[in-house]
Structure 1
Amino acid sequence: MTDMPLRVLSRNDLADIAITPAEVIASVREVYVTLAQGQSRNPAKIALPLPERDSVSYSMLGYDGSRRIVAFKTSYKQERGRGDKQYYTTITLYDDDTGAPIALMDCARIGALRTPAASALLAEASAAPTAETALLIGTGTQGRQALPYLLAVLPGVNRLMLYGTHDAGIAAVLDVFHQHHPDRTIEVVSDPLGAAQEADIVLAASGPATAVKIRTNSLKPGAVLVDVGYGVADSALLDSDYAIATSASQLAVTGKYLADSDGSLRPVDAELPEILAGRAAGRRGPQDRVFAYNSGLVVTDIAVGHALATRAIEEGRGQELRPWR
């Protein structure tokens, strides 16, 4: 076994592997359910903030019980201001049946796909049955796939709004959306706070430099605010009538800005895996203003990464290394 090969898949190897929003959402939904059922494992990530500059590194370990895949993920992000960001993330997949390595992969595209899938599932779980208007705030990596994924689970949403501050980002969101929905339109708005008061679903996916701070209690009754990146007020969790998260333990690691004045976090009312497994509710009643926190779980990276790796390897992409020789 010491001569076991490892397939290395670069960002370019994965960039154009075909996969639809419906496929990604189905994979992410499945692994959330297996997590709730105890078949998968997702320990809380280890975070290491670095004191000399605005940077942080994460280490994550997980097991996808439906695919029988173990994975290790790492990420390192350094930001020195708008437009000056270094971000490196990788995931290594192992077959738990054979013990063999499957692939070492760049994780950027995986994250760009599983994150809007999780946001869509949070919205599906918590949106009022009458929801028909959605606002997307942010035009970066997370914003560009958000609306196609939302419509994949909530096709009845018939009014879509977009707020962004960069023309190139707005154009990119519109371009990606029209690739999926050439017959639909998005209304570009200039007043995000006013638009948020009209929306049934608000997806806050801005970058860290945003000046937008949406409060949950400023939304109309029955609305849901999904925290994907930045763009929510620090009081958004405390102000909500009902709160859900992909993971309460992950919220405790990455959501400290949502704490109250003494540094404590309000407990969430339900976690997404439990909701999808039918064991918890996405809201109590039709008037609840819901706050939904999206923190990436490595089991969802495994599900999406395995799908991309399988297709890439079938197409002969990447390089084989033998580090254990």
Structure 2
Amino acid sequence: MKILRDEDLNDSGLMAVAIDALEGAFFARVDNRLVSPPRHHVSFPGQGDLVFTVGGVLGDKPLAGFRVYETFGGADQIVAVWSADEARLKGICVGERLGSLRTGAIGGIAIRHLSAPDARSVGIIGSGAQARTQLAAAAAVRKLNLVRVYSRSEENRVAFAEEMQRTLGLAVEPAGSARDAVRDADIVISATTSRTPVIHAADLKPGVHINTVGPKTRDGHELGLDIADAAAVIATDSPEQTRAYASPFFLAGSGHEHRMTDLAEIIAGRASGRRSPEDMTLFCSVGLAGTEVVVASAVLDVVSASA
């Protein structure tokens, strides 16, 4: 039984491992073999919550496990994975890196199935951990040649550009505004904590694909609703989760909430994705609960094989 920490998950090749594992999980979701009930919160008044997700995959080699993270102000989480048929604890991942890897990989799968096949440029709003893994995932599924990044802190966006250019081996430039970052981009990644729109449909070119990261509510969202108006396809990794938030999802009441397609259905060919090079597509990532277990299992296998 292995215990992995953040420093064990720095191999850039693990993003491709996570993407492949999650693509399999989305196929399992369509076949009703993915176990992913909604999150469960346990409150500690005055301190925060412990948040639990349970998940796994049924089939020849069934997996089961859970993740728990806290809202006390830190970032650590624990993911435990069992080989269900062997009744064996495969391992535990501790830290925040696995969660970022999982979220980035889901974004990469959306880009693989919704962006134009010849997409080469990316505009990123945000320069934090999620922006880093989203870009790494985009680079894993598309042959990128240019990235522009904007965040409110000039220092942070310059540091992001230098780091990601070095890490990914492609041109990454800081932009002077959100509009400058996205206006010519084939793929837009919105990974901010802004509670007011920072980009609108008029800022984007025809045929663009947009990824959002994390829960967006009617009280706070960084995308203008005119982007949903313009999108030919709106997809999410968990329609159930968009309906489970305490605060209504940002598309609730807009007329677009019923347009959201399950990404798994698009991957499996049961729902339409992009139909035209001019289509704008929008993916709302809310974090399909339980999929951390699938990613952790694949990562544990790779790390164990290389040990």
1:28 pairs with 2:22: yes
1:37 pairs, out of 19, 28, 31, with 31
Q: 1:202 offset after TM fit, Å?
A: 0.7
Q: 1:293 offset after TM fit, Å?
A: 0.8
RMSD value over aligned CA atoms? Answer: 3.1
**SS of the counterpart of 1:35?**
helix
Check 1:59–1:146 CA distance in 2 against 1; reply closer, same or farther (3 A cut): same
Check 1:309–1:23 CA distance in 2 against 1; reply closer, same or farther (3 A cut): closer
Residues 237 and 258, structure 1, Cα contact 8 Å, conserved in 2 = no
How do residues 302-313 of structure 1 correspond to structure 2 at under 5 angstroms? Answer: 302-312=293-303
Q: 1:249 offset after TM fit, Å?
A: 0.9
Work out the CA distance in 1 between the residues paired with 2:191 and 2:264: 21
Q: What residue in structure 1 maps to residue 148 of structure 2?
A: 161
Q: What residue in structure 2 maps to residue 111 of structure 1?
A: 99
Structure 1: segments with no counterpart, 5+ residues: 1-5, 79-84, 317-325
Paired AA for residue 32 in structure 1? F
Work out the CA distance in 1 between the residues paired with 2:187 and 2:108: 10
Structure 2: segments with no counterpart, 5+ residues: none
Work out the CA distance in 1 between the residues paired with 2:134 and 2:101: 9
Q: What residue in structure 1 maps to residue 269 of structure 2?
A: 278
Larger radius of gyration: 1
Q: What residue in structure 1 maps to residue 58 of structure 2?
A: 65
Work out the CA distance in 2 between the residues paired with 1:217 and 1:284: 21
**SS of the counterpart of 1:225?**
strand
Work out the CA distance in 1 between the residues paired with 2:158 and 2:258: 35
Identity percentage of aligned residues? 21
Paired AA for residue 224 in structure 1? H
Work out the CA distance in 1 between the residues paired with 2:74 and 2:124: 25
Q: What residue in structure 2 maps to residue 319 of structure 1?
A: none
Work out the CA distance in 2 between the residues paired with 1:243 and 1:178: 33
Paired AA for residue 253 in structure 1? A
Residues 124 and 154, structure 1, Cα contact 8 Å, conserved in 2 = yes
User: Can you list the C-alpha shifts for 1:33-53, whole angstroms capped at 9, x where unaligned?
Assistant: 122222222222235688858
Q: What residue in structure 2 maps to residue 189 of structure 1?
A: 175
Work out the CA distance in 2 between the residues paired with 1:212 and 1:153: 28
Paired AA for residue 211 in structure 2? V
Work out the CA distance in 1 between the residues paired with 2:163 and 2:195: 22
State the aligned residue count. Answer: 298
Q: 1:62 offset after TM fit, Å?
A: 0.9
Q: 1:250 offset after TM fit, Å?
A: 1.8
Q: 1:104 offset after TM fit, Å?
A: 3.0
User: Can you list the C-alpha shifts for 1:81-138, whole angstroms capped at 9, x where unaligned?
Assistant: xxxx422321111111122222232151111212111111112211134533210111
Work out the CA distance in 2 between the residues paired with 1:113 and 1:74: 16
**SS of the counterpart of 2:171?**
coil
Q: What residue in structure 2 maps to residue 199 of structure 1?
A: 185
Residues 234 and 257, structure 1, Cα contact 8 Å, conserved in 2 = no
Paired AA for residue 65 in structure 1? L
Paired AA for residue 142 in structure 1? Q
User: Can you list the C-alpha shifts for 1:130-153, whole angstroms capped at 9, x where unaligned?
Assistant: 533210111111112322321221
Q: 1:171 offset after TM fit, Å?
A: 1.8
Work out the CA distance in 2 between the residues paired with 1:62 and 1:23: 18
Residues 212 and 232, structure 1, Cα contact 8 Å, conserved in 2 = yes
How do residues 156-305 of structure 1 correspond to structure 2 at under 5 angstroms? Answer: 157-166=144-153, 167-168=155-156, 170-172=158-160, 174-181=162-169, 184-206=170-192, 208=193, 213-216=198-201, 218-229=203-214, 232-233=222-223, 235=225, 238-239=228-229, 240-254=231-245, 256-260=248-252, 266-305=257-296
**SS of the counterpart of 2:274?**
coil
Q: 1:188 offset after TM fit, Å?
A: 1.2
Work out the CA distance in 1 between the residues paired with 2:184 and 2:137: 21
Q: What residue in structure 2 maps to residue 322 of structure 1?
A: none
1:126 pairs with 2:114: yes
Residues 110 and 283, structure 2, Cα contact 8 Å, conserved in 1 = yes
